[in-house]
Chain A
């Protein structure tokens, strides 16, 4: 796959809402086939940062973005970038499961169909493999025609992950994907993330320190829009360089 050689990093990335600088001059590298966790107290800019990685901020808010985001040799903030094509290469999953109001099958097949897969057999295969990758196939294979909304919250979230995988992205952005789920579903999603990093580079925003420690390879600590510390997860959680990081991960504030 082309994406295996992808370098994915930001260079001096800043995000402004009007005059308010929500993300301040952040340079971060996301190594391939690994999980990078973004942690920090609420309002520290980590979600805003994540949303600018696939230029989701373009559509939803009036944010102004400065700096560069490199994927391979391409700066995706460049005006000439085809944002729609770009987003196809970057999957995203949110805190609240948001399956389409369609059948389970349609939820997965919809993206590939739009991107040109017409063959029914091929679509069936994509649906099955995406659901398998998201560890949902066995639970839903007999009711693919049913509404996605009939699934439980945890299943819906895995369906959303499967949907993101259906267009074969090289990068997966996860915005607190398990914080609305029960413990059993959470551990399923976590297992899934560990499984998926074999193929993708994953960036996850989380409030759950244990989760970050369990599943991520690298951790970045954000505070008030600034990147305070970025290192191997093990180092961050055992021997952080910054006193504030230490305080945050040991739960003293945030």
Chain B
């Protein structure tokens, strides 16, 4: 017992000279390391923007294609197989918007229902059932979605509607399943962070569950759900392979949803391997990548605005 009380002199009284500033070195090294990693992120994004922009702008400044001809032209013939080369990417922009908007239109109601199911209808087992389902849907690789779209959805559409089955409809359906998890998980988070009192006061007034959901809950979480929808659309807009596999890849604006079409990503995917760097064709593909990047910024800005509104 006594031996314990006679423990060695306290450490604080006995600073070891050699180790005196060890903790400063440590802190300096740690701070430097983490700061460098953070700066690297900025360097990466700046160089992506710089390189994509410098290549993408060459179309306009070196190859002499005008901005409006590029954006609004509807003829795509970059190698001049039918006379003068034409660089109109309107059909692809149209395809990208059409598929991603349609995908959001299909996915949003489903996602909102799934979120409500997990939080309002059967909060207990509803969540246990749907949560893993949503996570698995999010985990399935996009090429697998493309493969299933090609072997199931395209033939089904071919049987039901006129045309080959490929096209914007097939692309939208595939994309809608892919973006379901994004919208659902953001919606579920928003719904489950609602204050209890909100619902209870509505129920206390004798409102039914649906009235409560419709009049009180949905208006409150609307900005969050819209955030989810925009993020979903952003994902759909940038998705390449799954869409490319089912959309048909014809370079024109289709007359129906069941006719072959193209998106910005599908054209880049298909053409990039077959062009020589520096040619007008290749540069035009980079301009399309620049457009994709620009759209990403727009989506991020919209999300930011929605989040700001949500905070108030």
- A contacts B: CB pair < 8 Å: yes
Q: Name A residues whose Cβ lies closer than 8 Å to a Cβ of B.
A: 1-3, 82, 84-85, 88-89, 112, 115-117, 122, 125-126, 128-129, 132, 167-170
In the complex, residue of chain A having the shortest beta-carbon distance to the beta carbon of B21: A82
A-B contact count, CB below 8 Å? 39
**Given A112-B11, A126-B7, 19 other A-B residues pairs in contact with their CB atoms under 8 A:** A1-B13, A82-B24, A84-B24, A85-B15, A85-B23, A88-B11, A88-B12, A89-B12, A115-B11, A116-B19, A125-B8, A129-B4, A129-B5, A167-B10, A167-B11, A167-B12, A168-B11, A168-B13, A170-B12
Complex Cα gap A168–B15 (Å): 12
Residues from chain B with Cβ under 8 Å of A126 in the complex: 7
In the bound complex, CA of A170 to CA of B12 (Å): 9
Q: Which partner residue on chain B sits nearest A119 by CB separation?
A: B8
14 contacts between A and B (CB under 8 A): A1-B9, A1-B10, A3-B13, A85-B15, A89-B12, A115-B12, A116-B19, A125-B4, A128-B4, A129-B4, A129-B5, A132-B4, A167-B10, A167-B11
**Residues of the A chain whose Cβ atoms lie less than 8 Å from the Cβ of B9:** 1
- Most B CB contacts (10 A, CB to CB) among A2, A112, A126, A168 go to A168
The distance in angstroms between the C-alpha atoms of A132 and B9, with both chains bound, is 17
Closest chain B residue, CB of each to CB of A122: B8
Cβ contacts under 8 Å, B5 to chain A: 129
Chain B interface helix/strand/loop/mixed = loop
Taking the closest CB of chain B, its distance from the CB of A122, in whole angstroms, is 6
Q: How far is the CA of A129 from the CA of B4 in the complex (A)?
A: 6
Taking a contact as CB atoms under 8 Å apart, the answer to whether A168 and B23 are in contact is no
Cα A192 to Cα B5 with chains together (Å): 16
- Bound state CA distance, A1 and B7, in angstroms? 13
A168 near B4: Cβ-Cβ < 8 Å: no
B12 touching A129, Cβ below 8 Å: no
Which residues from chain B sit less than 8 Å from chain A, CB to CB?
Answer: 4-5, 7-13, 15-16, 19, 23-24
Instruction: Assess whether B13 is in contact with A2, with CB atoms less than 8 Å apart.
Output: yes
Contacts of A129 in B (CB 8 A): 4-5, 7
B271 to chain A, nearest CB (A): 54
The residue on B at minimum CB distance from A126 is B7
The residue of chain B having its C-beta at the shortest distance from the C-beta of A86 within the complex is: B12
How far apart are B230's CB and chain A's nearest CB, in angstroms?
A: 34
B11 touches A116 (CB 8 A): yes
Residues of the B chain whose Cβ atoms lie less than 8 Å from the Cβ of A112? 11
B18 to chain A, nearest CB (A): 9
Q: Which residue of B lies closest to A114 (CB)?
A: B23
Q: Who on chain B is nearest to A137 by CB? A: B4
**Chain B: minimal CB distance from A128 (Å):** 6
Q: How far is the CA of A2 from the CA of B8 in the complex (A)?
A: 14
- Contact status A84-B12, CB under 8 Å: no
Contact indicator B11/A169 (Cβ below 8 Å): no
- CA–CA, A3 to B10, complex, Å? 11
Q: Do residues A117 and B11 form an inter-chain contact, with CB atoms below 8 A?
A: yes
Q: A116 touching B16 by the CB < 8 A rule?
A: yes
- Among all A-B residue pairs, the 7 with the closest Cβ atoms: A168-B10, A115-B11, A84-B23, A129-B4, A168-B12, A129-B7, A116-B16
* Closest A residue, CB atoms, query B14: A116
A157 to B13, CA, bound (A): 26
Which residue from chain A places its CB closest to the CB of B18 in the assembled complex?
A: A116
Give bound CA distance, A84 to B26, whole Å: 12
Residues of A near B12 (CB, < 8 A) are: 88-89, 115, 167-170
User: How far, in angstroms, from A152 to B16 measured CA to CA in the complex?
Assistant: 37
**Chain B residues with CB under 8 A of A116:** 11, 16, 19
